[in-house]
Structure 1
């Protein structure tokens, strides 16, 4: 006599599962807390190396405080996006390996600086980015194109978030960001992408693009947003007229495992990749090579796995000298009750004095919409 064993239920890794929501929220709380601490470090004379290093230290310190019980300790946790400190015309990915790295820039009052960082719990990432002008105060606010830029980026982010409603399309978000940027005489950074997120997946198949090229428009798929999706909404706005960025001479320190395999030929490549996998716990999230035993020597062993797409380098691009880029990144959930921000960048309009404002009535109306859906009474539903 034989019996059939019922197949194990497939785990629900969407935010329909309250356990998943809890992990996103806890990760978001850590991320928000550390972001505030890192923003406070952005002062005249600070360097990108010391601030980004301290940011990662604070993230690891917070992570060490949770999931330490015997049962919970088996749950993976870690940095989902190493701390990056990006001044002025550098949009992203600047996290120098050492003090003598060319990317170790000394910050000064008046610099436009964005910080991006995040953590993941059980593969669910909550990431954030926020931009400030160093030294700006309510008594002496930033003015001119820097102030216009900060208002543009924040307003575009808040408007874009409100387009992430079921049945809306990705191009709705693209168009709203373009409209807001134009109101402030700014431009979205060309071809920048946002993605839906899944467990252990930062870059899901659904893509939102800002300032697309003609080629982008022909290649991008159109889709509708759906309930129970999570998006990493990345809004980057530039003071330039075209928003074009180009490769820079800065060497990235961020790499991510792709899940691809290749039979590496070089002994050094094998050694460095093995250490890389061990140090990042085989997690598919960006990892800063400053955590390797010998970061500088290790660079020689990263080229081969990078060329064969075993690891993905986070290249550093730049806008034109004299231009500025502002970024706001929010991890947003689409729930049955509306939109939920798992991470919350902040913006104080009193620090940035602009003469410009949104005039487009559709955008003005969009910005007044609450994130949460107001529940209808049974009488209203029956109408």
Structure 2
């Protein structure tokens, strides 16, 4: 039923809505570049997470100041998962001082921003210490290139009229080109205002359990998708860490909590974050919150984001972005340039169908009509031009990399 609603209400993607999405995406991209620029040997992961979140709040605080009731800020707390740690690693200073980065670490940086509930997510993988003089090779290069190319192929397949089942097949094929595997159970969703997890799903590797409930769906104009790709050099199945989760999300459960600490905690979360994921670091009384969160999780009032690992010695890569299916063409609002030339792999994309997808342009038609008057909207002609340049750089890098293999 939700899909029918989306198909019959294309007016939800009005210009103000599109502008808010683009503003959130612009901030997310800039924060990602800031965090990447500070991923250096010896830097504590905890410090980077705190700095990333702080910058999101600072940047979102600068906009829509006159609209006091408009919510904005973090849609997913800045998280850095290293090497075989796949996702959701966000150390809490009172219980886990975290780790310090080392040269050669494979780091997945994951964060999200929202403006008025319109969400822009991004994840990017880097290797600490990488440079033109210090390129990455071996299994690290294999898995990072595989995940990157798969994410690019998805951008060309998620378009009006396309179907999720077809994309799942292409993800598996992309991973096999580099002798890697898509991690089981990773899901890309459609998104709506104040809702990160929509009804439509693209499961990159359903596995036996999810395959039974995997429903076919088609993509429709004006939908927004959180596209998430995680590949591994391992067997494709992750294990839950014994680390206590530090990221949670308020659910729609109406269960009446019995503990006072749980009620106070839930009220604070609802007021400050709504149903956006948050880190426990952002709670004022962390000690009381830790006592209350257990009851919240046990009764599905809060959903934890477990820290997930592959086997030690394996490597996991992630690329995530937000794309809007505009009538003029797909518009990717998050994602930063990726230089394939810094990664040397014995593998490459050889499948003709996949090569064909990568050769396709990702740029939609832009409205070149100039707007009169002063504007600070990210969706303005100036920002659209910047987006064209960024997308063009990515396309050129892809084609250059393929031509040399």
Structure 1 length-normalised TM: 0.90
Of the three residues 217, 222, 232, the one matched with 2:216 is: 222
CA distance in 2, matches of 1:118, 1:275: 20
Any conservation in 1 of the 2:10–2:221 contact (CA below 8 Å)?
no
CA distance in 2, matches of 1:13, 1:373: 18
Any conservation in 2 of the 1:185–1:239 contact (CA below 8 Å)?
yes
Superposed, which structure 2 residues align to 1:83-232 within 5 Å?
Answer: 83-98=78-93, 100-101=95-96, 104-232=98-226
Tell me the CA shift for residue 14 of structure 1.
Answer: 5.4
- Structure 1 residues 138-147 or 296-305, which shifts more? 296-305
Any conservation in 2 of the 1:14–1:229 contact (CA below 8 Å)?
no
CA distance in 1, matches of 2:338, 2:11: 30
Aligned to 2:13: 16
Unmatched tracts of structure 1, length 5 or more? 1-11, 376-383
Aligned to 1:295: 286
Structure 2 length-normalised TM: 0.85
Three-state SS of the structure 2 residue aligned to 1:162 is helix
Tell me the CA shift for residue 336 of structure 1.
Answer: 1.2
Aligned to 2:59: 62
Tell me the CA shift for residue 373 of structure 1.
Answer: 5.1
Three-state SS of the structure 1 residue aligned to 2:350 is coil
Aligned to 1:255: 248
Three-state SS of the structure 2 residue aligned to 1:260 is coil
* RMSD across aligned positions (CA): 1.6
**Count of residue pairs brought into register by the alignment:** 358
Any conservation in 1 of the 2:261–2:288 contact (CA below 8 Å)?
no
Three-state SS of the structure 1 residue aligned to 2:104 is coil
Any conservation in 2 of the 1:328–1:345 contact (CA below 8 Å)?
no
Of the three residues 254, 264, 275, the one matched with 2:268 is: 275
Tell me the CA shift for residue 227 of structure 1.
Answer: 0.8
Does residue 369 (structure 1) correspond to residue 366 (structure 2)? The answer is no
CA distance in 2, matches of 1:47, 1:143: 25
Does residue 234 (structure 1) correspond to residue 228 (structure 2)? The answer is yes
CA distance in 1, matches of 2:11, 2:77: 24
- Cα 1:126–1:13 shift into 2, 3 Å: farther
CA distance in 1, matches of 2:92, 2:150: 32
Does residue 45 (structure 1) correspond to residue 59 (structure 2)? The answer is no
Three-state SS of the structure 1 residue aligned to 2:269 is helix
Q: Deviations over 1:90-118 (max 9, x none)?
A: 1111111116506x111101110010112
Any conservation in 1 of the 2:146–2:180 contact (CA below 8 Å)?
yes
Tell me the CA shift for residue 374 of structure 1.
Answer: 6.7
